[in-house]
Amino acid sequence: MAEIGKGVTAGKLASNVQKRLTRAQEKVLQKLGKADETRDAAFEEMVANFNKQMTEGTKLQKDLKAYLTAVKTMHDASRRLQDCLAEMYEPDWFGKEEMDAMAEDTDTLWLDYHQNVTDKSLVTMDTYLAQLPDIKARIAKRDRKMVDFDSARHHFASLQKGKKKDEAKIAKAEEELGRAQRIFEELNVELQDELPALWDRRVGVYVNTFQSLAGHQEKFHKEMSKLSQNLNDIMTKLEEQRQLNEEANHSESASSAPKRPGPPPSRPPPRLTPSPDQRQQHAGQLEDETSVPDANTESTDTALQSAVTNGSDGELPPGFLYKVKAIHDYAATDGDELELKIGDMVLVVAFDNPDEQDDGWLMGVTESSWMQNKDISAKGVFPENFTQKV
């Protein structure tokens, strides 16, 4: 007969088949209630705890592996982000060397964290779970041996109760019963000692696993926080560098263009104005003074117009101090103020009462207005820093 398998003979195979058949028959009889079954409630509770322990441990191992996969994914994403920043960071920017060193430190930190969690947490779980399959196999073997013990017990009892007793068969059945009982009890005692200890040991495994994980997480995040703070400091310095460069460029461009003046000088409360009767009396005096024609008036007006047009201080007619040019627009905010547009030429006159002159303010009339009306009464005050002397 051909060899069945390595180390397995035909006789051994037949014996195993016979054992399986006998066990199957015994289980059927037990389910039908025709044969009693050895039960151990305490041991069954241990087995239930073991199955729960194995399920929870396997799930924890799976989740730890998923966590480490996520850590590796985050590491890859962090590395790509650091590489992108390094490529964009120009050599003349602040902290270029520090940025390159920080990218290397970040990469090393991720590698160490992944390796530490693998070695201290995942390997611990792997070692813990590695013993469970052997115990599970021994529990299954104990169950088989218990069926063999029940079967041998029932066979021995049936021979003893038979009408025709065969002492040889009874002796052999008794011997098989003793052997089956011894094998079953050996396995049963061993498992009754190991299963409770294994059930209690799971707490220590969980504590070590998560304490190690928490410790490495704390160290990782602490070191990563330092690197993040360094990155923030570099970005702050880079922004300061940008602002300084922007101010320098602005100063260079502003040196060739007129500066925008500040706000006009503040003025005291409006001065008291003459009453309508006083103005009417003053106007009547002016009319009396001008009612007599002066032969030199026409020639004087022509000379003033010519002098103003020339724009030279020495050629300005009497009453005008000098001429200024508006370099910025100014919107009048009071009735006695002069409205200015860029380019307006203004003839400056002295204040009637010097005490009424406010600091930073001048009195004058626009050249266009004076040339058109030849009337100095259109004068008004305006901020000096909005004009430039010509």
pLDDT block averages, 10 residues each, the chain of length 390: 53 64 65 65 93 95 96 95 91 90 94 95 93 94 88 84 81 89 92 94 94 95 94 92 86 55 56 44 46 42 43 63 93 89 92 87 90 82 93
Per DSSP, which regions of the chain are E strands? 320-326, 345-349, 361-366, 380-383, 387-389
Provide the token pair at 311. 């724009």
CATH code for position 377: 2.30.30.40
Global pTM exceeds 0.85 = no
26 domain residue, yes or no: yes
The structure tokens 């058949």 sit at 21
Q: What range does the domain containing 377 cover?
A: 320-389
113 domain residue, yes or no: yes
Boundary-marking domain end, from 199, 227, 248:
248
Rg (CA), the chain: 55
* pLDDT at residue 36, as a whole number: 60
Boundary-marking domain end, from 208, 223, 248:
248
Provide the token pair at 210. 């998560």
Domain identity same for 228 and 351: no
C-beta of residue 260 within 8 angstroms of C-beta of residue 328: yes
The structure tokens 């928490």 sit at 214
Residue 8 gets which letter from DSSP? B
Distances in whole angstroms, Cα of residue 150 to Cα of each of 144, 154, 185, 186? 10, 6, 12, 15
4 domain residue, yes or no: no
Domain identity same for 77 and 205: yes
277 domain residue, yes or no: no
Domain identity same for 117 and 243: yes
Based on the structure, what is the number of domains in the chain? 2
Domain identity same for 224 and 346: no
Domain identity same for 99 and 212: yes
Boundary-marking domain end, from 248, 277, 298:
248
298 domain residue, yes or no: no
Residue 54: burial class (beta carbons within 10 Å; 0-12, 13-18, 19+): middle
CA–CA–CA angle 380, 382, 385 (5° rounding): 160
Looking from the CA of 2 toward its CB, the CA atoms found within 13 Å total 2
CA–CA distance, 376 with 181 (Å, rounded to integer): 136
Domain identity same for 327 and 208: no
283 domain residue, yes or no: no
CA–CA distance, 101 with 301 (Å, rounded to integer): 82
Domain identity same for 43 and 158: yes
161 domain residue, yes or no: yes
CA–CA distance, 151 with 154 (Å, rounded to integer): 5
* pLDDT at residue 296, as a whole number: 42
302 domain residue, yes or no: no
CATH code for position 168: 1.20.1270.60
Q: Residue 280, Cα to own-chain centre: how many angstroms? A: 77
